[in-house]
Structure 1
């Protein structure tokens, strides 16, 4: 009987240790915990899903583009009825961005929208970009870009090139429409 008791106690201790090690302030957990809630819109897509046939990429830009694997977006729309919930959820999202494992890249405001951009990985080869865009009128969106050895200094050039061709104009309009409704 004693060996069974020891096994049960040992198993319980391991289970408690594993559960207590869960990183509550990670972006992954925030996405998982909120993706099925009705006040959130979730979009997951791979860069392959974007029609970039109209974009004239150089060979270097193609290589950079291929370093991006997946984009996750989670948006919360603020309404008259959920302003307190908006504030609470935004506070949680900001706390994630303050997690020591993420390095702050930039924080700025443009056209009344507050942006925070953080990274995970080495300074010149990033494995994850996190973007938090928020405004008290519309709500907030969390965007997680996953890849392999992405280069932050080349990202702006790539985004500018894609924007100029309006690739995102039609394909990411769903997030903006959701927030504006």
Structure 2
């Protein structure tokens, strides 16, 4: 009986103790996907519309390492300025977590952009682009993949140059960009 109670206590502590209550970008995306002030998009690698038979081996490997992009954009208007400041602060706080290693940042804290990544230099799982503008809103883009590395990213740029991007998938963002 004591052994059974011990096992139940151990399993309970593992199940409930492993729940992480810290904010993450993934949780932030899930929480705000249905919010009327946000535009949420999931973009697959199919958006690139590339003839895979014309890719080099390196380009094919780069394309294979890319899974999808998640885009979450907050559209600023006269009624949601306070919420804009709150939401932008939440994203900044999440990106201060040491797991998000910042590659570059430009502009000021109130207006600008940053690029961060999750993983190691040779095995990147996620790139995060965060851009915000005081008079338009902000956008967070998560580029998800497997075994991405700097070489793959450079090769992916060459794939982008040859692609015929399906702009129909990006239509919801056009309104935000126009500002």
State the TM-score bracket (shorter-chain normalisation): 0.7 to 0.9
Do the aligned residues in 2 keep the contact of 1:50 with 1:171 (CA within 8 Å)?
no
Greater shift, 163-172 or 119-128, is seen at 163-172
Change beyond 3 A, Cα 1:144–1:22: same
Q: For residues 5-154 of structure 1, what are the structure 2 equivalents within 5 Å?
A: 14=13, 17-18=16-17, 21-53=19-51, 57-109=55-107, 114-154=112-152
SS of structure 2 residue aligned to 1:149 = strand
Structure 2: unaligned runs, 5 residues or longer:
none
Change beyond 3 A, Cα 1:26–1:172: same
Residue correspondences, number: 172
Instruction: For 1:58 and 1:47, locate their aligned partners in 2 and report how far apart those are by CA, in whole Å.
Output: 17
Cα RMSD (Å) of the superposition? 3.3
Change beyond 3 A, Cα 1:76–1:156: farther
Report deviation, 1:58. 2.5
Report deviation, 1:29. 0.8
Structure 1: unaligned runs, 5 residues or longer:
none
Do the aligned residues in 1 keep the contact of 2:38 with 2:74 (CA within 8 Å)?
yes
Do the aligned residues in 1 keep the contact of 2:117 with 2:124 (CA within 8 Å)?
yes
Instruction: For 1:164 and 1:139, locate their aligned partners in 2 and report how far apart those are by CA, in whole Å.
Output: 31
Change beyond 3 A, Cα 1:138–1:169: same
Report deviation, 1:164. 6.7
Residue 155 of structure 1 aligns with which residue? 153
SS of structure 1 residue aligned to 2:131 = strand
RCO greater where, 1 or 2, for CA within 8 Å and sep 6 or more?
2
SS of structure 1 residue aligned to 2:173 = helix
Greater shift, 73-82 or 162-171, is seen at 162-171
TM-score (norm 2): 0.79
Greater shift, 158-167 or 82-91, is seen at 158-167
